[in-house]
Every structure is written in C-alpha cells, then in structure tokens.
Structure 1
C-alpha cells in the first residue's frame, strides 16, 4: 500500500501582484485568476492520477480560501487549514526593518516565540495502517538563523511526540538550503557543528533531541536534493535559485518515487506561464510497511 505526499508553496496573491516585487515576470502571469487555474489543474492531476494523495500547502490565504474549499469538496477531499497571518498581509509571514547603523541585540528564543507559524499534524489510517502527516512553513530570518534552527528543531521533535513511535512525514517550505546548518540539525544524528541557542529572557524547558532525525524523500531516492525548488528574481534577491522545500520522513517507510523536477528554469523568473508560484510543487510516493 502506498501514499503520495505533495508539498506546494502556492505563493500568497498579495505578494504575487505587487508590481514592484516580481519585476522580471510578465504581469498577466501574476494575476490570481491565471495562477489559480494552473494551481488547481496541477493539484487535480495529482489527485486523479495517483492513489491516496495527500496535499500539503503553504501560503494559503483568504483570497483563495473559498476556491480551495470548493475545489477539494468537488474532489471529495477533507480540507484542514489554519490562517495565522495578519490582516494587512493575508499570509503567514512578516518582517521587521531597521536602520543599518542601529545596534540590535536580540534574543533568538524571544523572536522565535513571537512567530505565529502553525504546525498542522493529522493522523490518517490506510487499510489499517496508521501514518502521521505534518506540514509547516518555517519563518525566514536571514538576520537570525538561530530562530530558524529553533523552529526546525521544535517542529521536528513535536512531530516525534505526536506520532509516539509511529511513522510520520513532515513536508513544507522550510526556507533552508541543503548546505545550511539547519538542514544538518534535522538530518544528521548527534550533529555537533552547532551550539543550540540559549535565552537571556526566558527560562527554556525545551531540550532538543539530537538522536531524533529525519530523512529527505528526494535525497533518499536520488542520492541528492533537487537542484532547486524556488526560483525568483526580486529586488531583495536577484536570480535566487535554491532548494527550500522538502518532504522529510522517519520510520518504516520506503520512498518508491519522487516527482521529477526541472534541471534549470526556462524563464527570467517564476511565476511564469507554466509555473504559478515561485516555488515548484514537490511530491513523493511512499510504500507503507
């Protein structure tokens, strides 16, 4: 018996339609209606062409919420969601801006706990076999990478806690590259190349479990991570082309196949005519033990 897990950061519409952000994209390909038609077509093919498909989405927001509800209802799917962004942005992230010459000393735990990101974890049963599925979107914070490590470690250990020894899959946009320390913390047992941050503000009871690690579906199947899962040319990051999305797992699961991804982008920037998001959709088929 197999299960197919799809992970897709669909790009929040309010970002896509900012005229001064995706400046290398054709404006007609940034329109929500155009992108929505491509997104639902891609997802419908995943559901129709494969058995036991589970969809994990990131950057779901209010403009598309009702469309997704109708879409999944039509395909006889149960739709679980949680919107945790603020009213002004319609999505789950935010940033802070300060003068370059301002001295800023922060506490990574304080910053991490102020983030509103939410883990969705479901237990499913297929032919009597139990499996936990989680999806998460790690907040991007290049100024404080410790914040991202905290989120990654906590969500990993929380999945272990929820699954209570059973197999689980954790998919999403982790905003980390394979060479980042955060990736090593998630995948390398007893990784000693990093000192977990302490707090000067809070008394932290959480102790990371460095024995509990995850495997990556693409790395297990192909021997390496994809060349890229995110491609965008924006004022903040010119020609950014890196792997940020993963399908992690642990337990008695075997990766049968993964969705083949393009070797190179074929446009100036995503979104484009055939890619409705700046992220690629990724997917993996697992054999249940």
Structure 2
C-alpha cells in the first residue's frame, strides 16, 4: 500500500513526497492505535484468516518500527500501548533521537493505555495531566478509558507553547451515550488545561481513536463550538482525503482523527502544512485484513506536518 504526503493547501495536486523532509520550523505528529497484544489475544476471533506469525508482537513491533522510521515523528500519540511493552517500544525509537514519554494506563485491570512520546531536543514538557473518564455512580462514565494532555514549549522558540492530547474512547457500538459523555469530560479538561491568560488559550492538537464515524452525534458534539469560563473553545478535524478510512469494523470506516483548535483574535494557531494521506475503502479491498506482512496494527497511522504561527 502506497501512502504519500499531500500539501494541505492543494488537495487536487498529487504529491510524490513519501519521504518528504520537514522545513526547519515545521513539526511532524503521528497518531497510532498500535493494537495491544493482550487485546488481540482476548479478541482473537476478529483476526481469523491472518497467519498466526503475523499476529505475534515481535513481528508487529518490527513493522511498526519500520513505518515510524519512515514517518519520523517529532511527537507520537499512541493508543492501545501495552504497559509492559512500553519501554522496549520507546527503546526502538531512541536509536536516532532522544525521546521521552508520558503514559497513562486505563483505569482498572486493563494492561494498555495512551502514551505521548516526544523529541526532547525539540520540545520541553512544561506540564502534563491525565484524564480518567471513570466516575462512580454515573452510568455513562463507568468505563476505563483515559486521555493524556501535554503542554509543550518549543526549545528554539521559548515563547511558543502548545497542547497535545490523545485519547482512546469506548468501542462498544451500542453505547454512543458513553462516548458522548467521555467527549464532554475531555473537552472540559482540555479547555481548562489550555488556558493562557484571562480570555485566550494555547493552540491545541487532539489525536486518537474515538470509535465513532463522522456521521454520528458524538462526532458533531466533538467539533461543536462551546464556551468554558466565558472563553470560546472549538476543535476542527483535519482532512486526510476524500472517502478515507482508518480501520476495519465490519466494514472500512474512519474512527481515528487528528483535530486542531480554532484560534480566535490574536491567539497563535496550529497551521497544517501537509497530511499523510489515508487509503480509501476501495483501495483497501486489495489490502485484505490487517495486521499483515507490511502493517503492524489493525488501524492505519495518521500523520500531519504542522507549524505554529
């Protein structure tokens, strides 16, 4: 499967920038649900027809590493990062650059969670905060999903700060009410975490596996404008190509997103320079089931090149 970098300013022009180099003031962010091995084993029936050796963690790790070596992210947002695989995963990424990470395991007994891995030569972590959606006695907030938020400072431009958050929401297709409640908790936490001054916010990127498609009420709730503490806060989803898909759930669908905050007045903003184009459902018919010989997860990676202005 061939994917390429497409300039955000020209969606009609096919770019051959598979190994595109970043400009000096641009950064690359990748979001990836890498499929926790414990979850794969628990739901092995979902991967019938895939050769068992392609499902082994060692094989998948090698494929994930190869893909990330091509993408070369400055910031990597991970979902389904299994905690006992985290250090070895980070070690594989640290051969060519110095990286650090923050991690939050799911509430309860689950072994996976969310992680943000970043290039410490480019960014200083000024603050971080974990979000646990689980709340006692609230029927729509009784699940173990989590989120992480990080406040970064650009090392070669200390006046520039920005927020990166990642999450993995509940999968159960019948419980959109839970996902809507989780989005509400996350947005309120992000709005508070991103405050800078009395009436302004830091530019923010949110990435993750949301387990809902763009035609759902949960998605509309995610991108709706709202006010927190008299300050407007709104996220917009980044376009990865017409009819793009990110995983297979009975059919090829989009449930993974990268979003950015909409700046107002004189606030700094996240500017998307290029996106790593996702495949279409039609093109995926030739791929077959994933993971496979080339891909290490049952989701496709999402990637953007961005600047802050």
Matched, 1:281 2:288: no
The answer to whether the 8 Å contact 1:189/1:210 transfers is no
Which consecutive aligned stretches of 4+ in structure 1 deviate over 6 angstroms post-superposition? 207-210
Q: Distance in 2 between matches of 1:208 and 1:7?
A: 30
Q: How does 1:81-230 map to 2 (within 5 A)?
A: 81-84=103-106, 86-87=108-109, 89-92=110-113, 110-126=138-154, 127-128=157-158, 129-164=160-195, 165-189=201-225, 212-218=233-239, 222=241, 224=242, 227-230=244-247
If the length of structure 2 is used for normalisation, what is the TM-score? Answer: 0.72
31 and 209 in structure 1: CA distance in 2 versus 1, 3 angstrom threshold? farther
Q: What's the counterpart of residue 256 of structure 1?
A: 273
Q: Which residue of 2 aligns with 1:39?
A: 64
Deviations 1:197-229 (A, max 9, x none): xxxxxxxxxx9999532111226xx5x5x5210
Q: Larger relative contact order (C-alpha < 8 A, sep ≥ 6)?
A: 1
Distance of 1:25 and 1:209 partners within structure 2: 52
- Work out whether 1:245 is the aligned partner of 2:245: no
Higher strand proportion, which one?
2
Cα distance in 1 between the residues matched to 2:33 and 2:94: 21
Q: Secondary structure at the match of 1:78?
A: strand
Write out per-residue CA displacement over residues 90-146 of structure 1, whole angstroms, 9 at most, x where no aligned residue: 3359xxxxxxxxxxxxx9972333223222111111122111111111112322211
**Superposition TM-score, scaled by structure 1 size:** 0.76
Per mean C-alpha deviation after superposition, the further-off stretch among 108-117 and 69-78 is 108-117
Over 3 Å counting, the alpha-carbon distance change for 1:151 and 1:267 in structure 2 is same
Q: Which residue of 2 aligns with 1:103?
A: none
Give SS of 1:246's match.
Answer: strand
Whether the aligned pair in 2 keeps the contact of 1:229 and 1:280 (CA below 8 Å) is yes
Task: Give yes or no for contact 1:108–1:147 (8 Å, CA) kept in 2.
Answer: no
SS in 2 for 1:125: strand
- Structure 2 residue 292 is the aligned partner of structure 1 residue 272: yes
Count residues in correspondence.
246
SS in 2 for 1:139: coil
SS at match of 1:8: strand
Cα distance change, pair 120–269 in 1 and its aligned pair in 2 (3 A) = same
Q: Name the counterpart of 2:39.
A: 15
Asked if 2 retains the 8 angstrom alpha-carbon contact of 1:189 and 1:211, the reply is yes
C-alpha distance in structure 2 between counterparts of 1:66 and 1:166, whole Å: 30
Structure 2 match to 1:201: none
Which residue is equivalent to 2:101? 79
Q: In 2 relative to 1, CA 166–241 (structure 1 residues): closer, same or farther, beyond 3 Å?
A: same
Unmatched runs of 5 consecutive residues or more in structure 2: 1-24, 115-134, 196-200, 264-268
Segments of 5+ residues of structure 1 without an aligned counterpart are: 94-106, 191-206, 233-237
